[in-house]
Structure 1
Amino acid sequence: MRNDISDLLTFISQDDLWFGRLQEVVAEHLMPALEEFDLDYDDLPEVLGEPWPGVLWGCGFEDFLSRQYEDGNIVDLYLKRRGWNEPAANREYFGALRDTPVSLYEVSEVKPGTSMVLKDLVGDAKPVTVLEGSATQSLKQWDRIVVRVISENDVHVISGALLAFSREAVALLLDGLSTVLNADKNDKLSLASNQILKCAPIFTSAWLFTALPRALSKELPEFTNADGEDIMFHDLRFPFETGVRQKEVSLCLSELNCFAADGARCWTWLAPHGSKAPRENDGLVLDSQTDGRTVLGHIELKGKSLLINVNSSARADRVRHLVMKAAGQYLKQPLTTIRTVEQMMAEEQDELDLEDADEIPPEIARQIVREHMDRHYRETLDAPIPALGGKSPNQAVRSKEGRVKVVEWLKKLENNSAMHQNEAIEEYDFGWMWAELGLQEYRK
């Protein structure tokens, strides 16, 4: 069978010296993270699920095959003693594993079940087309993976141990490689094969140190708004004083420059022009923009009440003060309902369950999503983006450094969309944004 390593594994397990060395190398890959999180290898199936324990062990095993000891290399020894019993394809594959370093690759041009293009992000290798049937079924455009790319009979394939890297894991890996190799962390890494071969455990550790906290934590990520305030949804209802009409309240609210009319009885509360850019945050930022300004809340006159929706306690206090100052003579003190993110999600799920019987036809839903995303991203091109240093994409592309950041930002948008469970979002074409920003050449 092609690339069958069973006889090689048997050979290693029957030699106490080489088997001990294999265990030591696997420990180099796994133990720093396992000790940090007080876990044993046997805990990994429950924590990470299958097939990750086997894949992680494979990372250590492939590294072991490349190790040179005073008395030689295990692949050389095996081929010398048992190579006559192996097919030519296996002998070539073992030799390639011995000489090929693991590296971090960016995925593009995915053809499910057939091939993909891999660009080396830390080594000095050129982009290559890899023939691959299984992994290409799940990988998406701009995914980052750690694997060995092996040349076989004028084509390229990947080894068995593949780890998909999150953005957080990529950052941790690059930081670790820069530290170990004493490289400037602001410079782009371009390492030779012999340098990367020595750093293989760092790749596995970076993946584990980011995957284990997520797996061990059952809590939702932290949510904040653009001002860095914890998300807590507030619904304020201001009852009218006796005899007050909507027109009287409306005239007062229209005098507020920060309230932009959104119909006869609705307003959008907007941050001032030129206000500070949204803060960087380790959690998830819930933020919407219109005309380059952050949306702070929504206001509506309904019946004999003024209704206001905001997403933090601080914003609730601010808008209460604004409204009472402008129209306090017409309004009673507000009644406030407060809901957490978890409660909102539960309510939305209940609503979705009730709507299942009247589900929107897929083609209509796809059109609605596409139009919504078109509008949203059209506005985003002129909105300040934290990842771009507070500049809008249209501003950032004017400099060389800014273009690099915008390309990474676009890749992240496209990658997140491709992994979405909603088919309409997954299929959304970001090509127009690359063209609009003049960055088509970087999408290849």
Structure 2
Amino acid sequence: MAERNDISGLLAFIGRKGDWRDRMQDVLAEHLMPALEEFEIDHDDLADLIGEQWSGVLWGCGFEDFLGQRYEDGNIVDLYLKRRGWKETALNQAYFAALRDAPVSLYEVSDVKPGASMVLRDLLTDAAPVTVKEKSATRTLKQWDRIAVRVVPERDHHVISGALLPFRAEAVDFLFAGLRDALKLKKRDALRLTRDQLMGSAPIFTAAWLFIEIDRALSPALPQFSNSDGDDVLFHDLRFPLASGVTQKAVAESLDQVKGFLPEGPKFWNWLAARKGRGGKAGRGIMLDTQMEGATVLGSLELKGKTLLVTVNSAKRAAKVEALISAAAGGLLKSPLTTIRTVDQMQAEEQHAEPGEAADEIPPEIARQLMHDHLDNHYRETLDAPIPALGGKSPRQAVRTAAGRVKVIDWLKMLENRSAKHGEGPIAEYDFGWIWVELGLQDQRR
């Protein structure tokens, strides 16, 4: 017996109808050719570039669009159901008819129940959020993901079509720009589309996704890291040998006198700088820095045997901390030997570390609690810190205006989405709910 999503009979029917087969190929070309021509890529090379699975999904985008096309001599679904519908189950007949009339749109994912369902909010219409039953996609999609798909009514519930494209943030921007251009909308005009406009815009969705994915495949972007001073992250390990006859105690007494060196025991110091009240330098990409007791941790110092080991994450900080140490304990230490490592090298070293070197002896439940406590402290600090994505305002400042609230909501969704994509572990499990409540936005978390 045929299943609801078994399109083999419909495909065979199209294959026997030369004119309909040609029409389907024309629709597929509308979806694919703008990007292929722009990047001068042959259709046969597309699967190798972006992956065989995506080549199939893209074909599905064009195929589903073709099912909704109406020509002078009719619609392919109507024709098929009239001539061969008797061979299909009632459920399959209803599905084809519903898919024919369902427009593609961009949806925001929430309330994901893996293997069961998810809630989709249409970002291009004012339709109410809808719960869809779905098994496979809900196992990989995360809170606040954005997807292009068709929502299809089925009996007393909704399902999604087979062609689903996950949209990155840059693909969303590209899509919105393309839709505005196609509909001749001005920047101040709300991007709200009718069903007919969505039905006619399906190729724009595919092209927007494909332009971004091809560009990423041809020139994969390396992540950019900076610290809170705006400096590119390069880890510097400075090893100061103790001068002949000098004791650790003598060095420690000198370092205790340095403003900003906060001791944590007799042989370890955190180098702290008071957090800037406003502004701060916006670096590139992901910011790597740690907050502690209302201050930024600029680095650490530790006495080990006959060596003072200092670790910082930029060249500027390395030069500054060397000057501070030299001024305080220059006569007690020899010139440092410096090792420089990139973020990638640091990650590679951690991956190749021996099991005994890692901190995996900590019970999982304790490690989870420690991480969640750290994230709590970090985000409490962040609520009062300037955020580039919020125009340099802190989240508490930004929520005071309507425009600012919109930006804060988008920022929170981005944080949750990135956290959820960490896979299994304490970061992915972290609950951001308290932040929404703290900012008075709990009713917008949907």
**Fold-level similarity (TM above 0.5):** yes
How far residue 349 of structure 1 moved from its aligned partner, in angstroms, is: 1.0
2:134 matched to 1:120?
no
Q: Deviations over 1:2-33 (max 9, x none)?
A: 24322221222222222222112212222233
CA distance in structure 2 between the partners assigned to 1:248 and 1:276 by the alignment? 39
336-345 or 174-183, larger mean C-alpha shift: 174-183
The amino acid across from 1:310 in the alignment is: V
- C-alpha change, 1:355 and 1:289, in structure 2 (3 Å) is closer
1:216 Cα deviation (Å)?
4.5
Q: 1:407 and 2:409 equivalent?
A: yes
Q: For residues 154 and 317 of structure 1, what CA distance do their matches in structure 2 show?
A: 67
Does 2:299 align with 1:268?
no
**Partner Cα distance (1:125, 1:59) in 2:** 22
Partners of 1:357 and 1:425 in 2: CA distance: 16
- Gaps of at least 5 residues in structure 1 are none
Q: Spell out, residue by residue over 1:235-270, the C-alpha distance to the aligned partner (whole angstroms, 9 max, x if none).
A: 112334455565665566566555455555413232
Asked whether the 8 Å contact 1:232–1:340 carries over to 2, the reply is yes
Report what 2:233 is aligned to: 231
1:87 aligns with 2:89: yes
What SS does structure 2 have at the residue aligned with 1:435?
helix
Shift of residue 271, structure 1, vs aligned partner: 5.8
Q: Does structure 2 conserve the Cα–Cα contact (< 8 Å) formed by 1:293 and 1:383?
A: no
1:433 and 2:435 correspond? yes
User: Which deviations, in whole Å up to 9, do the C-alpha atoms of 1:194-245 show, x marking residues without a partner?
Assistant: 1122221221122222333444456742333334433221111233445556
Determine if the alignment matches structure 1 residue 33 to structure 2 residue 35.
Answer: yes
Tell me whether 1:285 sits opposite 2:270 in the alignment: no
Q: Which residue of 1 aligns with 2:103?
A: 101
Query: 370-379 vs 251-260, which deviates more?
Result: 251-260
What does residue 183 of structure 2 align with?
A: 181
Kept in 1, the 8 Å contact 2:134–2:159? The answer is: yes
CA distance in 2, matches of 1:360, 1:293: 27
Q: Distance in 2 between matches of 1:338 and 1:280?
A: 20
Distance 1:331 1:188 in 2: 65
Q: Answer yes or no: is the 8 Å Cα contact 2:31–2:204 preserved in 1.
A: yes
Stretches of structure 2 that go unaligned for 5 or more consecutive residues are none
SS class of match (2:400): coil
Aligned to 2:372: 370
Letter of the 2:428 counterpart: E
How far apart are residue 285 of structure 1 and its match? 3.0
Instruction: Pick closer, same or farther for the CA change 1:356–1:248 going to 2, 3 Å.
Output: closer
> Structure 1: how far apart are the matches of 2:246 and 2:278?
35
Whole-angstrom CA distance in 2 between matches of 1:376 and 1:294: 11
| Cα distance in 1, alignment partners of residues 360 and 422 from structure 2 | 23
Deviations 1:118-145 (A, max 9, x none): 1001123211111222222222222211
SS in 2 for 1:54: helix
Residue identity in the other structure for 1:277: G
Q: 1:392 aligns with which of 394, 398, 401?
A: 394
Report if aligned partners of 1:3, 1:89 keep a CA contact under 8 Å in 2. no
Secondary structure of 2:95 counterpart: helix
Between 1:417-426 and 1:50-59, the stretch displaced more is 417-426
TM-score computed with the length of structure 1 as normaliser: 0.88
Is the contact between residue 146 and residue 168 of structure 2 (CA under 8 Å) also seen in structure 1? yes
Q: Is the CA contact 2:236–2:340 (under 8 Å) kept in the aligned structure 1?
A: yes
Aligned residue pair count? 443
Note if contact 1:236-1:337 (Cα within 8 Å) is conserved in structure 2. yes
1:298 paired with 2:300, answer: yes
Instruction: Provide the C-alpha distance between the structure 1 equivalents of 2:351 and 2:286, rounded to a whole number of angstroms.
Output: 20
Q: Which amino acid in 2 is paired with 1:33? A: A
1:282-326 CA-partner distances (Å, limit 9, x unpaired): x43323334555433223444554432122223323333444345
Question: What is the letter of the counterpart of residue 106 of structure 2?
Answer: L
- Cα displacement (A) at 1:336: 0.7
Deviation at 1:394, TM superposition (A): 2.5
Between the aligned residues of both structures, percent identity stands at 61
